[in-house]
Amino acid sequence: MGNSFFKEIIYSSSNEDSESELKALRINANDVILCITGSGARSLDLLVDSPKKIVSIDFNETQNFLLELKKAAFKVLNHEELIKFLGIDSSKDRLQVYTRLQPHLSENAIAFWSKNLNYIHQGVLYCGKWERILKALLRLSSFRKRTIKKLINASTIEEQKNIWNNKWDNIIWKMFLKVISNRFLWINIIREPGAKLIPKNFDVYAYMKRLIEYLANNFLIKENHYANLLFNGSYLNSCILPHHLRKENFELIKNNIDKIEIVTGSLLDYLSAHKNEFSAFSVSDFSSYAPEELYHSIWKNILYASAEHAKFCERMFLVKKNPEKRFKEIKRNSELEEKLFLEDETAIYTFCVGTIIKNPTLCP
């Protein structure tokens, strides 16, 4: 998608719960995975299960520069330094730390970061356009900051539900959600190219209202990293961080870090040149940016690049697709999809999960 929107970092933290990909892909030491980069969080999270290799691809080169930087940080720093460098804990010397990471970056990444040292100074975790939009929305809600504080301090689901239903979920919240679910805003003001692909009859407001309500009634906001971004704009001390940022996973990810190969390019082109290479695909949520025909062409190329019995996990946000209707090789696991939908702590995605069977006679 040739669009100026993709010339800057859009995603920098994580707006997904990779536990779902880990459950769906059941990664083993032989797996060669194709993963979309985005913030880089998912590619790093998947290292927890020690695959053989991950190819992390994005057509937005700046997302890949961010992943290069995160990779370098894992190589050079210890966990405490990493958490400070990224921006979770405070630090005054991020620019000095950056000079230690530079030898591990490509020339293009160095050129990019040298023009964006302010992001490094502030901590890159919250530099994405999406993270900045969430902070701006929180500023607009600042007149409700006492209720927000109560929500993020609630220590049981019961207490949180009570605050949500009696204090938060009122006409102001509904109007606010109506405004931010408005297509005109996303298409013409924010210029998010994916907004044009949301079917006209899809009620964004009703969908978001139902699922954010589900989140608030089932997951503790103070611990949930996605809810932390929504209601605090950054991770609180009480937050259970994305897998790759947790202290207990640090050494494992550090040891596995070179298993990630970063590729800048389109899924369509890359897959067409890698026949039978991948045993797993973590491809959320490219349907947001692919018109109908492109979406199916990408899936056709996923099948081409897939080894027999490859596993896949595609997250879908506001653009829902059924690729199995076009390609008989795609065998979806609807039971697991439903389970992931209910358990995923970001709550806003549905799943397309299963196995690719190219030759049915080889079925176990």
Ligand X SMILES: C[S@@+](CC[C@H](N)C(=O)[O-])C[C@H]1O[C@@H](n2cnc3c(N)ncnc32)[C@H](O)[C@@H]1O
Position 235 contacts ligand X (CB under 6 A): no
Which residues 6+ apart lie within 8 Å of 114 measured at CB?
none
**Closer of 60 and 350 to ligand X (Cβ):** 60
Rounded to an integer, what distance in angstroms lies between the CA atom of residue 39 and that of residue 289?
A: 16
Site for ligand X in 258-277 (CB under 6 A): 266-267
Report in angstroms how near the CB of residue 194 gets to ligand X at its nearest.
Answer: 7
Q: Which residue is nearest to ligand X (CB)?
A: 38
Q: Candidates 91-99, 180-188, 272-280, 284-292 — which segment interacts with ligand X by CB under 6 A? A: 284-292
User: What is the per-residue binding string for ligand X in 54-83, x denoting contact by CB under 6 A?
Assistant: ---xxxx--x--------------------
Distances (CA, A) of 252 to 7, 41, 46, 52, 53: 32, 15, 11, 13, 14
Q: How far is the CB of 129 from ligand X (least distance, A)?
A: 11
Smallest gap from Cβ 17 to ligand X, in A, equals 10
Q: Which of 249, 288, 301, 306 binds ligand X (CB under 6 A)?
A: 288
22 or 163: CB nearest ligand X: 22
Q: Specify the residue, 81 or 277, whose C-beta has the smaller distance to ligand X.
A: 277
Q: Which is nearer to ligand X, 10 or 353 (CB)?
A: 10
* Residues contacting residue 349 through CB under 8 Å, at least 6 positions apart: 16, 20, 284, 285, 315, 316, 317, 341
Q: In terms of CB distance, is 38 or 51 closer to ligand X?
A: 38
Per-residue contact track with ligand X, 4 to 43, x per CB under 6 A?
--x---xx--xxx-------------------x-xx-x--
Phi, psi of 53 (to 5 degrees): -160, 150
| Residue closer to ligand X (CB basis): 69 or 154 | 69
Contacts of 193 (CB under 8 A, 6+ apart): 1, 3, 5, 6, 289
- Nearer to ligand X by Cβ, of 256 and 287: the residue is 287
Nearer to ligand X, 256 or 301 (CB): 301
State in angstroms the smallest separation of the CB of 7 from ligand X. Answer: 10
Closer by beta carbon to ligand X, 20 or else 147: 20
Residues that bind ligand X (rule: CB under 6 A) add up to a total of: 23
Q: Which tokens go with 102?
A: 């530079």
Gap between the Cα atoms of 202 and 198, Å rounded:
7
Task: Give residues 104-123 in contact with ligand X (rule: CB under 6 A).
Answer: none
Residues making contact with ligand X (CB under 6 A): 6, 10-11, 14-16, 36, 38-39, 41, 57-60, 63, 266-267, 284-286, 288-290
